[in-house]
Amino acid sequence: MRDFTPFLDLIREARNVLEGNVHRTPLTYSTYFSNITGKEVYLKLENLQKTGSFKVRGAYFKISSLLPDVRDKGVVAASSGNHAQGVAYSAMKLGVKATIVMPKSAPPYKVNATKSYGAEVILEGDVYDDAYAAAMRKSKESGAYFIHPFDDPYVIAGQGTIGVEIAEDLPDVDTVLVPVGGGGLISGISLGVKPSLRGRSVKIIGVEPEVDPKLKMSFRVGRPVTVKPMHSLADGVVTKSLGRLTFEVIRDLVDDALTVGEDDIARAMYLLLERAKLLAEGAGALPLAALLKYHDVIPGRKVVAVISGGNADLTTLYKVIMRGLAIEGRLARVNIKLKDEPGALKRALEVVARKGCNIVDIRHDRMNPSVKPGIALVELLIESPSPETTDELLKELELVGVKVIRHV
């Protein structure tokens, strides 16, 4: 195993630098998630961090390590999201000029948030890789320091302060679940937790989307691999590969990797909103998604899920809520056939009302070529108190002569 003493020294230094400049975020016990998983579940709320993400810890510590020279040269970074805001905020607080290169596809609200911290934003290319190349060119031309989003010892150490806080607040923790993008967060947390709790067998488990399983594949072959990721709700962790430096830490200190699907992520985001009153972006909800899916095989009793960020796109959030309601059986799409006669639809809707359900949308189709003359096809989008109520509703519709042909 590699000697990680230099990293541990940096984490101690990072704690001193970050104190008073970033939040020590809460570690809160969740009764609801504990009950449904059979674990003692604690949430580390980095979604309540300054700029809405853990990224500010590593960015602030890295930029501060470059003082005073950095005030003359400035910093440059490439990001389409949380790293951009973390660097911009840290630079503003430290009196440093920041230039952030973002892809043209970056959501406008993330661009505006980055600008609000005083950074110059340059839109370059269609994807992150284009922005990264442009940022590296600008760094070389201007002499500005490039702030890497994860593969840097100071960035890793900054994120490592989260691990130290977890170890201090819950010294008998058994398992910590962490989102994985480039690996800066999980490598830092591993370095913060395991040496702090020497003598305890704490498990660190990385979580990533099924469409971007780079950690799982890297573990399999014993080296960082490059994957071709697809779109995910957890866009904040979608990268082609882990960092070289981060994988060196991960290989020795991280115990396992789990993947979750898009519906798993949507359900976790939805339940955090409804049950915990917490807004988490897709990447931030990954650990809870894994816990909900794999609670029977995740080791240990006391489990921490690191909710790494809360910068969710509100247009995406609307879709997530609708999908979450559907997954939980609270929203149902029902296709029915009715006689095309006065009062037929009224009788069906009376059944819906009696069951305490609400019509969100209704569509009437008399022109469908698959429907016989005299019959109308009706699609209902229904809010229901529970899946059991929906099942009862479908049975009662059949009893009053309504043919249910599809239920989603």
* 291: three-class secondary structure by DSSP: helix
Name the active-site residue from 30, 64, 218, 308: 308
User: In 3-state terms, the chain is what percent helix, strand and coil (to 5)?
Assistant: 45, 20, 30
Name the active-site residue from 55, 97, 203, 214: 55
CA–CA gap between residue 269 and residue 289 (Å, rounded): 8
Cα within 13 Å of Cα(241), Cβ side = 11
CA–CA gap between residue 302 and residue 145 (Å, rounded): 41
Name the nearest CA neighbour of 89 among 113, 70, 122: 113
308 is catalytic: yes
190 is catalytic: no
Exposed/middle/buried for 205, CB within 10 Å: 0-12, 13-18, 19+?
Answer: buried
Contact status, residue 260 vs residue 289, Cβ threshold 8 Å: yes
Name the nearest CA neighbour of 328 among 404, 261, 383, 393: 383
**DSSP code of 19?**
B
CA–CA gap between residue 204 and residue 178 (Å, rounded): 7
Which residue blocks in 206-281 are alpha helix, DSSP H? 214-221, 244-253, 262-276
Q: Transcribe 191-203 into DSSP letters.
A: HHHTTTTTTS--E
* Contacting residues for 204 by C-beta, under 8 A, at least 6 apart: 175, 176, 178, 186, 189, 190, 193, 194, 253, 254, 255
Catalytic sites, residue numbers: 55, 308
